[in-house]
Amino acid sequence: MDRRAARGGGRRLPERLARQHSDASPIDPYRLVHEINEFLTEDSIYIGDGGDIVTFSGQVVQPRSPGHWMDPGPLGTLGVGVPFAMAAKHARPDKEIVCLFGDGAFSLTGWDFETMVRFDLPFVGIVGNNSSMNQIRYGQIQKYGDARGRVGNTLGDIRYSEFAKMLGGYGEEVRDPADIAPALRRARESGKPSLINVWVDPDVYAPGTMNQTMYK
């Protein structure tokens, strides 16, 4: 199978590449995952924990070495990000751990961020924050219409950077796409568990989300 087709369709590739460089605010998720991909090194283990945001990253993020990708798997077991990051850094302290969270996924097990601070397990965490469980939201709109699209899937506008700092880690808020790369570098240089809270557009969905048969 053509790899581009498997990841969202070769015909959509030019649009996707343009969106990876979008200066829009709220930030296009494609721009966020592009910046993460550019940030990775040969020693970066990448972890994705989320629904729609990780579906975006599956089209763009390419770890540089075999065995350096971890995610919730086909059953979408959200909340694995902090536990995976903790285990990966403990098992491979020589590796950099980079973890992309959806805000809904992070909220499930995020308190163990404090455990990573306490055991000095630095990692670069990024929250793609749209104040929503957006994959669920899309499915509800498709099945029940716009009027029910926001039932049970809307989250608070949480500044996860403050959560990180409260627990002894490093945090920043990002609303301008030009600030993503510098914020990631500062998180790396901090030597602490970190959360870069990136406000992404809640009204766009990954092609993989829109193509799921359970939403038809």
Domain span including residue 117: 24-215
| 11 domain residue, yes or no | no
Note the pTM of the prediction, 2 decimals.
0.90
Q: How confident is the model at residue 6, as a pLDDT?
A: 40
Confidence of residue 11 (pLDDT cuts 50, 70, 90): low
pLDDT in tens, 179-189: 999 999 999 99
Q: Which residues pair with 157 in a beta bridge?
A: none
| 13 domain residue, yes or no | no
| 78 domain residue, yes or no | yes
Confidence of residue 81 (pLDDT cuts 50, 70, 90): very high
| 169 domain residue, yes or no | yes
Q: How confident is the model at residue 16, as a pLDDT?
A: 86
3-class secondary structure for 130-191? CCECHHHHHHHHHHHCHHHCCCCCECCCCCHHHHHHHCCCEEEEECCHHHHHHHHHHHHHHC
Distance CA 35, CA 116 (A): 24
Distance CA 134, CA 154 (A): 8
How far CA 27 is from CA of 4, 48, 62, 98, 202, in Å, comes to 23, 18, 21, 20, 9
DSSP states of the chain: --HHHHTT-GGGHHHHHHHTT---SSBPHHHHHHHHHHH--TTEEEEEE-SHHHHHHHHH---SSTT-EE--TTTT-TT-HHHHHHHHHHH-TTSEEEEEEEHHHHHHHGGGHHHHHHTT--EEEEEEE-SB-HHHHHHHHHHH-GGGTTTT-B-----HHHHHHHTTSEEEEE-SGGGHHHHHHHHHHHTSEEEEEEEB-TT---HHHHT-GGG-
The CATH number linked to 161 is 3.40.50.970
pLDDT in tens, 62-78: 999 999 999 988 777 89
Taking residues 150-164, report their average pLDDT: 96
| 9 domain residue, yes or no | no
Q: How confident is the model at residue 214, as a pLDDT?
A: 65
Instruction: Report strand pairing: 170-174 vs 193-199.
Output: parallel
| 81 domain residue, yes or no | yes
| 132 domain residue, yes or no | yes
User: Is residue 59 pLDDT above 60, yes or no?
Assistant: yes
Q: How confident is the model at residue 213, as a pLDDT?
A: 60
pLDDT in tens, 82-112: 999 999 999 999 999 999 999 999 999 999 9
State the average pLDDT for the chain. Answer: 91
Spell 120-134 as b/e; 16+ CB within 10 A means b.
Answer: ebbbbbbbbbbbbbb
Give me the number of domains the chain comprises.
Answer: 1
- Range name among 36-50, 117-131, 200-214 with the lowest pLDDT average: 200-214
Give the count of alpha carbons within 13 A of 153, CB side only. 19
| 5 domain residue, yes or no | no
Q: How confident is the model at residue 216, as a pLDDT?
A: 63
